[in-house]
Structures are given as C-alpha cells and as structure tokens.
Amino acid sequence: MDRRTAIQFVAACTITTGANAVFSQNSSGIDHRYAAWDTLLKKYVQWLPDGKQSRVDYRGLTQARADLQAILAGWSGVSKAQFEGFSPAQRQAFLINAYNGFTLELVLGKYPDLKSIKDLGTLFQSPWKKQWFPLLGEQRSLDWVEHAQLRPVYKDPRLHAALNCASIGCPALRPEAFTDSALQRQLDDGMQRFMGDPTRNRYADGTLYLNAIFKWYRADFEKGHLGLFSLSDVGARYADQLSSQAEDRARLKAGGLPVEFLDYDWRLNDLAR
C-alpha cells in the first residue's frame, strides 16, 4: 500500500458514521450478518456464466472505496476480547471476511496499474507478508489471518476455497458475506464449485489434475479432516463435480489415482479484463 492509500485508510479507521453500518446493538458490537459487506459484494462481484468462477468489478469498486474502507475500519475496531467472545463459527466467518476484504483494499491501492496481486510484492516480501492493516489490536498481514489463525485453529481444508487471492486461478470470491449461520453451506458450496471447474481441477485419461493449491497445502488435505487422507481421496469425495460420466466417477471413487498439478493463473480476477 502506498503512503497516500495508507493515510486514506487510517483516516477511514477514524470515521464512525460509515463504520457503524457494520455494527449492531449486541454484546460483541458487530453485525454477524455483515449486511454492509454483503451489499458491497453483491454489487461488485459477479459469477461467470458457468457458476464456477467469479470476477470483481474493481473499476466500479474504486468508486465505492470509501464504503469498503469504512467496513474494514469497523472490523479493525473489534478488540481481541470481543473476538474471543464470538462463537467458533462467528470467529471463522469474521476472519474469512477480513481476509477477502483486506485483499480487495490491497488491490485497489494500485488498481488499475497492476496485472496480478503479485505485482504488489517486492523481491524481499510477498504482498501476503506485509503487515499493513490493524486487526484484533495489532498490525497484521494476510498471511497472519490464514496461516496463524484459520489454518491451524479450524483445520478445515475447505477454507482454501473460501479465501480469495484476487487471482483467476484462485477459488471464486463469493458475491456474499460469510456468516456463522450459513458457514457450512458456504464452505461446501465453495469447494464444489472449485472442483467442478475443469480449468482448475479435472479428471482425464486416468489422471487426476488438481489446482496448485493442492500442492502448496497438500498436508491440509491429508490430515483426515472431512475423511481426506490423500489427494486421491479429494478426487473420490468430489467425483460428481469432476466428471459427468458414470465410468469416470466410479474410477475416481475407487481411489488410487495418479495426481498431477496444473499451472496457477495469477492474472487479476478483474471483470473489466
């Protein structure tokens, strides 16, 4: 984030009028329906016709950046004590929304002068390692949200289909907020859409071709959560999404398939492009 953007965001963190849109009169001080965030996503994120990928209208979102910053400021105002008072599902939804929201803000800081989120990193530091936003009382990075909180605490491999890295190769950013009441449905649906997209995961000629996420986070999918002990088990669990052919589905469900990894598409998930 450049100096001007940082100043704008800090200023947004001091605004109360806009930020209050995400607050309600409950003990935790936050609206767990995420109404303002949900409205923003529905307006600026669109499913593609296949329903497996989404694109972000960054151009339009630029005009609503103050609204996004007010939402983020509200989340930044949640104390660690308040967060610890949330239910596990509420904490999980909060962190997923925060990751996706701050990712959008990071991209907007340089948009339209970037082709990939990786353009926001340096030779010595990736964009995910920058500690640039306040959350739960300290300056945080996107990596902290994912690798220090979500992955080790919740141990749910479906999280990888919920976190969006602003790239075409990444599982889709949903045009809706994650909420505690809908979390399990949303996590299941995200994985099913991701596995049903043949540009990112597919079965062909006896081989299971998987997105690079499964290479990077292989251990998360082989720890037994959701009954997954191998990447071949991923193919078995999502056989119905990977193929419409009964013979292929039977082969996938039998397991033991060789696995190869597809190249990751780091291009920006920009509706305008």
Shared domain for 140 and 71, answered yes or no, is: yes
Shared domain for 95 and 144, answered yes or no, is: yes
Shared domain for 114 and 155, answered yes or no, is: yes
Shared domain for 123 and 252, answered yes or no, is: no
Shared domain for 136 and 230, answered yes or no, is: no
Q: What is the 3 state secondary structure string of the chain? A: CCHHHHHHHHHHHCCCCCHHHHCCCCCCCCCCCCHHHHHHHHHHEEECCCCCCEEECHHHHHHCHHHHHHHHHHHHCCCHHHHHCCCHHHHHHHHHHHHHHHHHHHHHCCCCCCCEHHHHCCCCCCCCCCCCEEECCEEECHHHHHHHHHHHHHCCHHHHHCCCCCECCCCCCCCCCCCCCCHHHHHHHHHHHHHCCCCCCEEECCEEEECCHHHHCHHHHCCCHHHCCCHHHHHHHCHHHHCCCHHHHHHHHHCCCCEEECCCCCEECECCC
Print the domain residue range for 91: 3-183
Considering its fold, how many domains does the chain have in total? 2
Q: Tell me whether residue 74 is in a domain.
A: yes
Q: Going residue by residue through the chain (273 aa), what tens digit of pLDDT does each one get?
A: 443 444 344 444 433 323 333 323 233 468 999 999 999 999 999 999 999 999 999 999 999 999 999 999 999 999 999 999 999 999 999 999 999 999 999 999 999 999 999 999 988 899 999 999 999 999 999 999 999 999 999 999 999 999 999 999 999 999 999 999 999 999 999 999 999 999 999 999 999 999 999 999 999 999 999 899 999 999 999 999 999 999 999 999 999 999 999 999 999 999 998
